[in-house]
Amino acid sequence: MLKKSCLGLAVVMGVLAELNGLYMLVSPASWYFAVPGVTTTGPFNQHFIRDIGLIFLFVGTAFLVGSFRPQYRVLLWATATLWLCAHALFHFWEVAVGICGPSALVRDFPAVTLPSILGILLTIWAVAEARQTRTAPQL
């Protein structure tokens, strides 16, 4: 049950990251005005939004491929999670130095902090699963 839940969550995270990345690439201006709070972070920059869109495609691909290829799961999920955590920490830093108010953390939680927390939990599960599989007796 836990394995199915973790793999299902990783697929959902992967698909959502892919969709977000595609949206950023295909229609950066639309994405800029549609996502709450983005317009308060600086002027529209099509190139920058598309750069980040590519990162979201890589993150989504890492979660999706890791879901179906257990031999690569830990590496792919940990790598994607590392970026998600850096992204979340950057948002906390913006609040700490006064660029944004604390309300930005609440507003951004579902799309920024929560994915990093879920990525950490999925990666911890993947490490435990890999260790268990490696040490399980072969029949």
Q: Average pLDDT, stretch 65-81?
A: 98
Q: Please give the backbone phi and psi of residue 98, each rounded to the nearest 5 degrees, phi first.
A: 90, 10
Give pLDDT, residue 120. Answer: 98
Q: Which residue ranges make up each domain of the chain?
A: 2-135
pLDDT digits (tens, 9 = 90+) for 92-107: 999 999 999 999 999 9
Give pLDDT, residue 137. Answer: 64
Q: Pick left, alpha or beta for residue 98 (phi over 0 → left; psi -120 to 50 → alpha; otherwise beta).
A: left
pTM of the complete model: 0.93
Q: How confident is the model at residue 134 (pLDDT cuts 50, 70, 90)?
A: confident
Tokens 């031999």, residue? 71
Question: Is 60 exceeded by the pLDDT of residue 139?
Answer: no
Per-residue H/E/C for the chain: CHHHHHHHHHHHHHHHHHHHHHHHHHCHHHHHHHCCCHHHHCCCCHHHHHHHHHHHHHHHHHHHHHHHCHHHHHHHHHHHHHHHHHHHHHHHHHHHCCCCCCHHHHHHHHHHHHHHHHHHHHHHHHHHHHHHHHHCCCC
Q: How confident is the model at residue 133 (pLDDT cuts 50, 70, 90)?
A: confident
